[in-house]
Structure 1
Amino acid sequence: MTFQGIAADNLAEVYRLAAEKYGDLPAFATRIRSGVFKPVSYRDLYDFGLYLGTALIELGVEARAHVGLLADNRVEWNIADYAILMCGAADVPRGTDVTNQEIEYILDHSDARVVFVENKRLLERVIRIMPKLGKVQHLILMDPKAEAPKGVLHLYELVERGKELRGEGDRQIEERMAQITPDDLFTLIYTSGTTGVPKGVQLTHANMASQVRNLPFPLEPDDRLLSILPVWHSYERIFHMIAISNGCCTYFTSLRSIADDLKTVKPTIMASAPRLWENLYLRIMKNVRESHWIRRGLFRAAYFSSRMVKSSTFFFQGKELDLSGRGIGAILGKSALGALKILLFLPLYIALNAVVLEKLRQVVGGSFKGTVSGGGALQPHVDEFFNYIGVPVLEGYGLTETSPVAAVRTHGKLVIGTVGPLYPETELRIVDLNTGEILYPNSKHKGDGRGLKGEIHLKGPQVMKGYYKNPESTEKVLKDGWFNTGDIGMYTFNDCLKIMGRSKDTIVLLNGENLEPIPIEAKLCESPLIDQCMVVGQDRKQLGALVVPSMEGFEEAGLKAESLEELAESSDARRLIQQEAKRQISGENGFKAFEHIHGLRLLDKEFEVGDEMTNTFKIKRHVVDEKYGDLIDEIFQS
């Protein structure tokens, strides 16, 4: 079942219809100070877009051109987005944390001639590298409080210029809007590839329109969204589009003010990353530990009774994870146990729900219909905690290349341990990594292949057009409309997708940061003390490493061992390698803070071809993850 707001085959038309339908309702709101937000209405936002878009056309922005947009979440981002799309162009977005090398590569590769820049600090960096940006002709400063230096345009000056042109009868932007086709790009998002060189993901108006029309939960104009994730990410952006389509107001917040803003805004829905929920969980647990022993006892009793009642209720609703397909005996046994738990603990749950759990729900505003967590895996204990206390966390799954949503939990399919059912119109194949056999759907297997682990391939209207000017990379992941995600998972017996790892190299940390392990591993292996290594950290807060020490290197360093087993158990060897990791993977060597190694374990066996390595000596990451899973867990527990 889908819940459709405004539906159109291009986003410029969605913007126009939203202005007509929702008029003076607030579209976006900027935080002025604690408890105070300044809104902009749907009608005003659309008018700003018309004015700025008209000025962009006069500036020379052609239909289907690419326009750089270097900024974080703010109303001016949306004004620029409206203008770029309404004049028939596509934006090339990136946040203010972009490096100079990324700016240079992305703007040159995307052929951007006009670039929006959020503030003067970032503008100064862009100006310094302008000699390398031969294609860029115009820079536009967005910050309303900053004055544009000579040679740089200002967003609000262009808005005024566009207003003048429209007052004189200029209607070119309406002509541009009428010419937009569903297959035209609305954005070109650069994401890291396995080589570390960014790849431009081409997403079309049809891609995004499919995400909007297939929304699997209802939204109303009085719903309130809190925006904290980077808007240039496709994940946050789909929430902006869904909000616009349904007439909701999106409030901009930040990590510094989110605790305060949750209480002020009382959001009903929110896009979030796992790190947010982990931090809230840790804060709640800290408060519990520091509270009076009576309060601690009440909390434990409330959560335990809630867990007993909710987990049993989930089973009866078909929401308990099922990886094997339960027989009638298992169902009857679980039913009896579940009924007993409800009978025993429901009175205690009812008594403590309002007294204890309601106060916990107030931490996130108390009005949540649900929050969709994405960009990394939610830790199981955190996932269970919030869902059991009555804060619905609807974990989702997708990639930039799928616009991004491919699967998401709904209230009817809130199966903890999964990312929910497939998004409407999405097709799934689970493929054996070794043989290429399609495991699901396959009638030869039990349940058509449910419960079998393999590589996830997706097909649907949200799958990207391809990588910009990169047919080789496109051909590697797109075949006959099927997109190879590089992720490993299975389809459960209660028809939900479970993510179990990654077959490709990219690591996604818990905070959503994407990084490539190969350059880090290459740098580590420059040390004479390290023979082989593999960086780990998928869905963790930080990186760790599994290291095969070099017996020869340690002998030269004065630490002789009779075997790898002896060396791996040596505390001195681990200490020296930790020092090497800190020295090699550092800011001085060009590595970002989230790429640093925070823990490691030494292995007593080399990676071998046919086992942990391919014939071309590439590490089979999924094999190592499975083989050394306990050791990897130890890294992140210490």
Structure 2
Amino acid sequence: MSQVKARNIAELYKEAAERFGNSPAFCTRDSKKVFQPVTFGEVYEMGLNLATGLIDLGVQQREHVGLLADNRLEWIVTDCAIQCAGAADVPRGTDVTEQDITYIIPHSDAKVVFVEHKAMLDTLQKCKSQLPNVKHIIMMDKETRPGGDILHMYDLMEKGKQLRANGDRRAEERMAAIQPDDLFTLIYTSGTTGAPKGVMLMHRNMISQVKNLPLEVGGKDRALSILPIWHVFERVFEMLAISTGMPTYYSNIRNIRDDMAIIRPTFMASAPRLWENVYLGIKKKVESGSAVLRGLFAAAYFCARMVKGSWRFLTFKQLDMEGRNPIASLFRAIFSIVLIVLFLLPYLLLDFIVLRKLRGATGGSLRGSVSGGGALPFHVDEFFNNIGIPVLEGYGMTETSPVLAVRTYKKLVIGSVGPIYPETEMRLIDLSTGNAIYPPQRGKKGEIHVKGPQVMKGYYKNPEATDKVLKDGWMNTGDLGVITFNNTVKIVGRSKETVVLLGGENVEPVPIENKLLQSPLVEHCMVVGQDKKYLTALIVPSPDAMKEYGATHEEIARSKEALEMMREEAKTLISGQSGFKSFERVIDVRLLPKPFEVGDELTNLFKVKRHLVTDKYSDLIESMYD
């Protein structure tokens, strides 16, 4: 855990400048593609100068400032400046749609908007007639000078520098006035129905996250940044780097393979999709190799599984959902010791010959990576931890800044998201009774409710939405979880309707289901895809419309022709022409042998019990992702 004394993020930047002033802070590629470092002292100085320029421009304390940009040095400098000016940022990436711009910028009351480059400026200007509140647009890219009424951050920075040289200390005065309960950032969550919701995160939220991250990192480490910096998951690790003096290298998906070899990172925040891609790349390389290579890899991985799996059992790090039987555990412990004795030497030899080279795919120095934003597939999780790349899966949401649970090196239980985060209370609520299951019961599934210093203040200008998820400080996550007998958290599904895909896209299934229900072929349906790459659907076919394939639901469900017909129907209905986004399309379907019934799959109000249907047809669902 980092030794943070700062009460707010502006002080965090200042503290870093005082402690690590001349050490490299952020490294970006120059025009020759060479990484150039900027020190912690320089970041803070540029931030103060730009903050002074913003204050002189008229930015007020607690004002909201738009920030439409991706990972780059200017992003972190601008963030520092906004914080030092006592304001709050409203961040979004350059892939933001015009529809989102015309909602988010006016709704957030942003009068000043930073844009990364010419393309982002052009998109913003297309929406200008719908942004009456915007007074100033500021270009961030150093080489782009659009002129006219478009300001440039480096000009504002220079003006602030001159003002400070003449004794202007308004930025320091603003910093001193920042309270822990002041707004730090306003992040709009993306959804597929209704307007985006602005999550209000305060300075105390982010400071609590940075203080409690159970990671031992510092100036000798190297962090690789590839996730969108405006996402709160990546952002908390940027703040961790600032608080510990760890240098951060900005990369992207296009350059990640080369950058891993050049930088040899020791730490990185990541997403499940990254590890899936690396896993598939390794698998493809091995399968295309010689018979000798395939044999060596198979032997190396088998030995690694025997040794690592046995050691996890002996050290109580094997996922335990039911509690250990003392007698069975004794025999298993003896067997585990025998396996370690038998396979340790072959493992060490083959690790040196084979697995060490696989670790080289991440630069060879990676001590750990926290994966978040979706569930890590078990086979991928097990693979990397077995070959010696510790993946510390975490769990959280934007509304909780985001971390609620995260694995640690001491509590690395594959299949779980680690222990509950420090200073965080967690309850598991029985959906049928509304009573708390945990505490004290472990091993039983319930809806996750949390309370802690990381929980948001609420949704901006949306008390109705806030009241739906926050009650007496307790946040209803909408996720279903279990507290294991390892005292870790395992996420097992969703109680709310929103589906979060593996890539982090939030999908509201109801509009998709309503569209499918317009078909005479469909009697009932449920869209699935939580933590998967794409959406699929379970469909109860209509016997009247599909009687040529059978007289009953069961007969129709067995028909290959009926299944193919339903696939084509789903493909036609859920398309771009119908207004659906690419990630909302239903890639595959399965036909169910019986209709949904009240008291079973349906509530008394005829709503689908999603968690129950997911459990009941889990094998059928998995068959669509094999």
TM, length-normalised to structure 2: 0.97
3-state SS, counterpart of residue 449 of structure 1: coil
Change in 2 beyond 3 A, CA 1:528/1:31: farther
For the 8 Å contact 1:34–1:260, the answer to whether it is kept is no
For the 8 Å contact 1:72–1:232, the answer to whether it is kept is yes
For the 8 Å contact 1:547–1:602, the answer to whether it is kept is yes
User: Partner amino acid for 2:471?
Assistant: K
Give the match for residue 315 of structure 2. 317
Give the match for residue 444 of structure 1. none
Aligned pair 1:614/2:603, yes or no?
yes
For the 8 Å contact 2:28–2:249, the answer to whether it is kept is yes
Q: CA deviation at 1:552?
A: 4.0
For the 8 Å contact 2:2–2:240, the answer to whether it is kept is no
Which among 290, 293, 307 is matched to residue 292 of structure 1?
Answer: 290
Q: CA deviation at 1:149?
A: 4.2
User: Partner amino acid for 2:525?
Assistant: C
Measure, in 2, the Cα distance between the counterparts of 1:335 and 1:197: 55
Give the match for residue 54 of structure 2. 56
Which among 174, 177, 182 is matched to residue 184 of structure 1?
Answer: 182
Q: CA deviation at 1:33?
A: 7.2
Aligned pair 1:578/2:570, yes or no?
no
Give the match for residue 461 of structure 2. 469
For the 8 Å contact 1:6–1:18, the answer to whether it is kept is no
For the 8 Å contact 1:34–1:261, the answer to whether it is kept is no
3-state SS, counterpart of residue 625 of structure 2: helix
Give the match for residue 169 of structure 1. 167
For the 8 Å contact 1:7–1:209, the answer to whether it is kept is no
User: Partner amino acid for 1:331?
Assistant: S
Give the match for residue 485 of structure 2. 493
Give the match for residue 507 of structure 2. 515
User: Partner amino acid for 2:453?
Assistant: P
Which among 555, 563, 571 is matched to residue 552 of structure 2?
Answer: 563
Q: After alignment, is 156-165 or 387-396 more displaced?
A: 156-165
Q: CA deviation at 1:554?
A: 4.5
Give the match for residue 35 of structure 2. 37
Q: CA deviation at 1:528?
A: 3.1
Q: Kindly report the root-mean-square deviation, in angstroms, between the aligned alpha carbons of the 2 structures.
A: 1.6
Give the match for residue 97 of structure 2. 99
For the 8 Å contact 1:7–1:212, the answer to whether it is kept is no
Measure, in 1, the Cα distance between the counterparts of 2:242 and 2:2: 12
Give the match for residue 141 of structure 1. 139
Give the match for residue 450 of structure 1. 442
Q: After alignment, is 514-523 or 244-253 more displaced?
A: 514-523
Give the match for residue 375 of structure 1. 373
Give the match for residue 265 of structure 2. 267
Give the match for residue 590 of structure 1. 579
User: Partner amino acid for 1:501?
Assistant: G
Cα deviation, 1:262-293, whole Å, max 9, x if unaligned, reads 11111111100011111111111111111111
Q: CA deviation at 1:189?
A: 0.7
Q: CA deviation at 1:7?
A: 2.6
Cα deviation, 1:442-499, whole Å, max 9, x if unaligned, reads xxxxxx3011111111111111111111111111211121111110011111111111
Cα deviation, 1:128-179, whole Å, max 9, x if unaligned, reads 1111112111111222222224222122222122222222322111110000
Give the match for residue 536 of structure 2. 544
For the 8 Å contact 2:549–2:562, the answer to whether it is kept is no
3-state SS, counterpart of residue 6 of structure 2: coil
User: Partner amino acid for 1:578?
Assistant: R
Aligned pair 1:502/2:494, yes or no?
yes
Q: Is there any run of 5+ residues in structure 2 with no aligned partner, and where?
A: none
Measure, in 2, the Cα distance between the counterparts of 1:579 and 1:327: 50
Paired residues, number: 626
Measure, in 2, the Cα distance between the counterparts of 1:309 and 1:33: 47
Q: CA deviation at 1:343?
A: 1.1
Cα deviation, 1:108-137, whole Å, max 9, x if unaligned, reads 211111111112112112111111112111
- After TM superposition, the structure 1 = structure 2 runs for residues 208-227 of structure 1, keeping only pairs within 5 Å, are 208-227=206-225
Q: CA deviation at 1:624?
A: 1.1
User: Partner amino acid for 2:99?
Assistant: Q
Measure, in 2, the Cα distance between the counterparts of 1:194 and 1:283: 32
- After TM superposition, the structure 1 = structure 2 runs for residues 409-488 of structure 1, keeping only pairs within 5 Å, are 409-441=407-439, 448-488=440-480
Give the match for residue 592 of structure 2. 603
3-state SS, counterpart of residue 154 of structure 2: helix
- After TM superposition, the structure 1 = structure 2 runs for residues 233-244 of structure 1, keeping only pairs within 5 Å, are 233-244=231-242
Measure, in 1, the Cα distance between the counterparts of 2:221 and 2:443: 37
Q: CA deviation at 1:195?
A: 4.3
3-state SS, counterpart of residue 486 of structure 1: strand
3-state SS, counterpart of residue 500 of structure 1: strand
Give the match for residue 81 of structure 2. 83
User: Partner amino acid for 1:550?
Assistant: S
3-state SS, counterpart of residue 412 of structure 1: coil
For the 8 Å contact 1:376–1:539, the answer to whether it is kept is yes
3-state SS, counterpart of residue 582 of structure 1: helix
Identity among equivalent pairs (%): 58
Aligned pair 1:67/2:65, yes or no?
yes
For the 8 Å contact 1:534–1:546, the answer to whether it is kept is yes
Q: After alignment, is 516-525 or 454-463 more displaced?
A: 516-525
Q: CA deviation at 1:362?
A: 0.7
Cα deviation, 1:170-206, whole Å, max 9, x if unaligned, reads 2111110000000001001111468442111111100
TM, length-normalised to structure 1: 0.95
Q: Is there any run of 5+ residues in structure 1 with no aligned partner, and where?
A: 442-447
Aligned pair 1:529/2:527, yes or no?
no
Measure, in 1, the Cα distance between the counterparts of 2:131 and 2:105: 7
Which among 30, 44, 51 is matched to residue 46 of structure 1?
Answer: 44
Cα deviation, 1:576-603, whole Å, max 9, x if unaligned, reads 3322322332223332222221111122
Measure, in 2, the Cα distance between the counterparts of 1:539 and 1:340: 37
For the 8 Å contact 2:199–2:398, the answer to whether it is kept is yes
Give the match for residue 9 of structure 1. 7
Cα deviation, 1:40-82, whole Å, max 9, x if unaligned, reads 1111111111111111112221111111111111111111111
